[in-house]
Amino acid sequence: MTVIIAGPSPGSRKVAEGISTVLDAELVYAQSKVFPDGERYVRVPEDIDDDVVIVQTLSPPQDSSLVEAMLLANASKGAGASRAVLVAPYMAYSRQDKRFLPGEPISIEVVLGSLASSGYDAIVTVEIHKEESLNFFPGKSINVRPYKYMAEKISPPSDTLVLAPDLGAIERAQQFAEAIGAQYDYLIKKRDRMTGEIVIEPKTIAAKNRHVVIVDDIISTGGTIARAATLLLQQGASTVEVVVAHALLAGDAVEKLKRSGIRRVYAANTLPPKHDPLIQYIDVSSIIAENLKQIL
Ligand code: R5P
């Protein structure tokens, strides 16, 4: 019988528990520790004789979470697992998916290649930055897109205007909007690749007196979403809410979002929660479990 192993990275346990409930599968918690010199250690149950599903989101500190994920695959195969499936609700390094500047790495190629060589046969992730990146993983992979599910849970009115912060995120806005029968559009975002500075350019969108929901994959520093919200409120939007798959919320992101006038951020629980009334988490473990059934 398949065993679900909850990895030690922050945010993994709740998802592992949700998956094991839906699949009615045995759940165990991996042992872990950090040696005095900073190296990581994990241990899984001995005598595994079937598939294992290792739930280890690649949450900050991403590099440690990644190393633990790799060690868990090796430990599980060594304990007899026939196949190792990684559930990584947040796939770190997925935004560096090409060489934007000469001399840069394709970081997600390195990450997915390392996960494969450490023993994973399949990967399930939630809303990787670009789905094509999964081609860097040689085994089976599934990218779970959470926006329809989140729209059903949030259930905003159908006269909501749904916006992507840039053209690259339009499909995300479309999936959310179609689930509630709303209109959708996109803003124009430009990022300076040297400084990281973001500019959201004004675009005439019928936002006046509208409830607006901005849909994106990630909030990291909050710069993209805060600038978009400020612009929309200046254009007369009545309220601005945000839906994201991954709320990384680095540094002072929560304060930045509050200052921009955003009323609420809805985030999937792919990362550990930040306890602030601005952020409401939606548990997506059931849709991950449904997708896992295709592999198990
Ligand atoms: C970029 O392509 C992503 O989809 C996000 O819009 C971006 O990573 C968000 O970063 P930040 O919150 O730092 O602006």
Which residue's C-alpha comes closest to atom 8 of ligand 1?
218
pTM for the complete prediction?
0.94
Q: Ligand 1 within 6 A of 242 CB?
A: no
Output the pLDDT for position 92: 98
Pocket test for ligand 1, best of 94, 216, 262, 274 (most atoms within 8 A of CB): 216
267 C-alpha to center of ligand 1: Å?
14
Q: What's the pLDDT at 202?
A: 57
Residues in the chain: 296
Task: Give 79's contacts (C-beta < 8 A, 6+ positions apart).
Answer: 44, 45, 46, 47, 48
How much distance in Å is there from the Cα of 204 to the middle of ligand 1? 22
| 226, 262 Cβ separation under 8 angstroms | yes
In this prediction, residue 141 carries a pLDDT of 98
Q: Pairing mode, if any, of strands 84-88 and 52-55? A: parallel
130 pocket-lining for ligand 1 (C-beta < 6 Å): no
Annotated catalytic residue 33: no
Six-digit token string for 100: 């934007």
CA of 95 to the centre of ligand 1 (A): 9
Q: Dump the DSSP string for 200-222.
A: EEP-----TT-EEEEEEEEESSS
Q: Which of 14, 77, 189, 256 is catalytic?
A: 189
**Is ligand 1 within 6 A of the CB of residue 217?**
yes
H-run or E-run covering 86:
strand 84-88
How buried is 79 (Cβ within 10 angstroms: 0-12 exposed, 13-18 middle, 19+ buried)? middle
* Measured distance CA(152)–CA(141) in Å, rounded: 25
Query: Is 219's C-beta closer than 6 angstroms to any atom of ligand 1?
Result: yes
Among 171, 220, 243, 274, the mutation site with the greatest number of ligand 1 atoms within 8 A of its Cβ is 220
pLDDT at 1: 83
The number of beta carbons lying within 10 Å of the beta carbon of residue 291 is 16
Q: What is the mean pLDDT of each run of 10 residues along the chain (296 residues)?
A: 95 98 96 98 92 98 98 97 97 97 97 98 98 98 98 94 93 97 89 74 78 97 95 94 98 98 98 97 98 94
Spacing, Cα 74 to ligand 1 middle (Å):
33
User: Rounded to the nearest whole angstrom, what is the distance from the C-alpha of residue 142 to the centroid of ligand 1?
Assistant: 22
* Nearest to 245, CA basis, from 228, 263, 267, 260: 267
Q: For residue 198, give the ligand 1 atom closest to its CA.
A: 14
Q: How far is Cα 281 from Cα 295, in angstroms, rounded to an integer?
A: 27
